[in-house]
């Protein structure tokens, strides 16, 4: 689909417009003012379907797909679409979703309705961890199919060498499990996309910037050395969802298992700031790249790690978050960029628009273009870069020693990865079924007790998990 067609999907008349310039002329002016042009030497693709934005979890639910509308409005207002290949991705098929997820679970998602939910609740048998955190709403299956399809489309553009950096802000739903919903997530588009990448890439590094642990992706690849997961997140086993991702959660305990030491976690306390976060990111990602030598990278850019987020507890500003994405971009590897959490929509939109510009190598003027739709939502400053670190600020409980100890711990885990024959893997098996079966067996053997405890926390998330702050 052409850029113009996609642009028109997002082009809404603005009330009270008095300028004699057409919208196209205004956008052209922004392109010139910001020096926006197609990157030299690499291609960026942008995967967006406006239908995702229409979904509604409910009036009191913190997940607002409308944040994608705000994101795309800013991207288009600056004219960044002119520097990218813009795609309208199709929905994922049932067969594609069941490449990872259980068929009975996807079948349930495809047929359940809000009325069914009420009937099941009345019988006390609402299955698959559906509930307050993961409600049943009109269009649920379409929603899952669309955001998952966009990540699959982005991954395929990378494997087909049509793109070097592929962006899907509707994706990044990292909590979803093989056969149940979790933490506002229903299908795990990240896992599906990584499985696609593994058809062509021997090793994939997954990096998670969400304030919540990327437990669903970690669990999916728990027993393989072909994916290394690295999650930076707030950690409190007792009170913060999902209660996993401690420094000792490094993969299977049996060193003979290929996945041992390939699940790396950076558990943080409240209040980490820009300087500490960016330095920590570089100090842990650099050694991972050097040791593991991935051939592709996936980065989840959850916006709930920003300061002032409704469910977050960090003091990070937009530019610092984007600096982590820039570091990943500068690795020069095929890069899949996805969204994730983020529950203050105006700030999530600012963040993802900024990180789109990072992928393009463009520096944007800090004042949002005056023709940006819904610009009043960004009042009073109407800036792309508001000061977020002082918004509902948390005391920084991450001491320098604590952060140094984290880096030391990560380096120690990576020491076990060195010399692993699979790091030098040359043959890429065409069928990943055996990998998925091994993952499932190991999850059952290694994590049965932990899973039980986590499910209890997830069901109570409305009281002390992601839902309540």
Token digits of residue 357: 């510009």
In 173-243, where do the E strands start and end? 204-208, 227-234
Pairing of strands 85-87, 44-47: parallel
**How far is 436 from 181, CA to CA, in rounded Å?**
19
Alpha helices in 79-139 (DSSP H): 94-97, 103-111, 114-123
Return d(Cα 260, Cα 255) in angstroms, integer: 5
CA angle 64, 281, 345 (to 5 degrees): 15
Tokens of 407: 């880096």
- Catalytic annotation, pick one of 175, 201, 212, 213: 213
DSSP β-ladder status, 165-168 and 204-208: unpaired
**Residue 173 contacts residue 187 (beta carbons within 8 Å):** yes
Per the listing, tokens 């960090």 go with 314
**Does the active-site annotation cover 213?**
yes
Give CA–CA dist 364/353, Å, rounded.
10
Can you tell me the distance from the alpha carbon of 457 to that of 448, in angstroms, rounded to the nearest whole number? 15
- DSSP-derived 3-state class of residue 67: helix
Specify burial of residue 32 (Cβ count, 10 A radius: 0-12, 13-18, 19+).
Answer: exposed
Residues 6 or more apart whose CB falls under 8 angstroms from that of 91 comprise: 142, 145, 146, 148, 149
Q: Where are the alpha helices (DSSP H) in 210-365?
A: 215-220, 274-292, 318-329, 345-360
Contact between 336 and 155 under an 8 Å Cβ cutoff? The reply is: yes
Which residues are part of the catalytic machinery?
Answer: 213
């Amino acid at each position: 689909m052409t850029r113009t067609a996609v642009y028109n999907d997002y082009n809404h008349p603005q009330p009270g417009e008095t300028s004699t310039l057409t919208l196209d002329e205004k956008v052209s002016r922004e392109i010139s003012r910001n020096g926006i042009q197609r990157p030299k030497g690499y291609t960026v693709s942008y995967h967006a379907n406006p239908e995702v934005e229409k979904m509604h979890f409910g009036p009191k639910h913190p997940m607002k797909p409308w944040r994608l509308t705000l994101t795309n409005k800013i991207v288009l207002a600056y004219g960044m679409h002119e520097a990218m290949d813009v795609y309208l991705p199709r929905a994922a098929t049932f067969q594609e979703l069941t490449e990872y997820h259980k068929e009975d679970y996807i079948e349930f998602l495809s047929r359940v309705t809000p009325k069914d939910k009420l009937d099941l609740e009345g019988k006390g048998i609402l299955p698959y961890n559906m509930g307050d955190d993961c409600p049943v709403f009109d269009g649920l299956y379409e929603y899952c199919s669309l955001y998952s399809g966009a990540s699959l489309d982005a991954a395929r553009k990378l494997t087909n060498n049509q793109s070097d950096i592929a962006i899907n802000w509707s994706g990044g739903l990292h909590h979803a499990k093989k056969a149940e919903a979790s933490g506002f997530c229903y299908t795990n588009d990240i896992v599906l996309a990584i499985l696609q990448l593994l058809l062509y890439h021997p090793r994939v590094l997954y990096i998670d910037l969400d304030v919540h642990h990327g437990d669903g992706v970690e669990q999916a690849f728990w027993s393989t050395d072909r994916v290394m997961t690295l999650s930076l997140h707030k950690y409190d086993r007792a009170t913060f969802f999902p209660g996993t991702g401690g420094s000792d959660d490094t993969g299977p305990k049996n060193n003979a298992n290929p996945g041992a030491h390939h699940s790396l976690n950076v558990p943080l306390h409240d209040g980490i700031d820009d300087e500490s976060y960016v330095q920590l990111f570089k100090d842990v990602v650099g050694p991972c790249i050097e040791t593991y030598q991935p051939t592709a990278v996936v980065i989840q850019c959850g916006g709930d790690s920003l300061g002032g987020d409704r469910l977050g507890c960090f003091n990070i500003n937009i530019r610092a978050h984007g600096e982590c994405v820039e570091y990943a971009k500068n690795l020069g590897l095929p890069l899949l960029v996805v969204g994730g959490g983020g529950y203050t929509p105006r700030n999530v939109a600012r963040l993802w628009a900024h990180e789109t510009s990072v992928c393009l190598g463009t520096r944007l003027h800090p004042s949002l273009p005056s023709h940006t739709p819904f610009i009043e939502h960004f009042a009073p400053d109407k800036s792309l870069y508001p000061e977020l670190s002082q918004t509902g600020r948390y005391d920084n409980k991450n001491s320098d020693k604590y952060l140094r100890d984290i880096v030391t711990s990560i380096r120690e885990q990576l020491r076990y990865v060195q010399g692993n024959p699979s790091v030098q893997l040359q043959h890429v098996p065409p069928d990943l079924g055996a990998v998925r079966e091994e993952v499932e067996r190991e999850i059952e053997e290694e994590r049965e007790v932990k899973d039980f405890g986590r499910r209890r926390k997830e069901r109570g998330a409305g009281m002390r998990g992601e839902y309540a702050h």
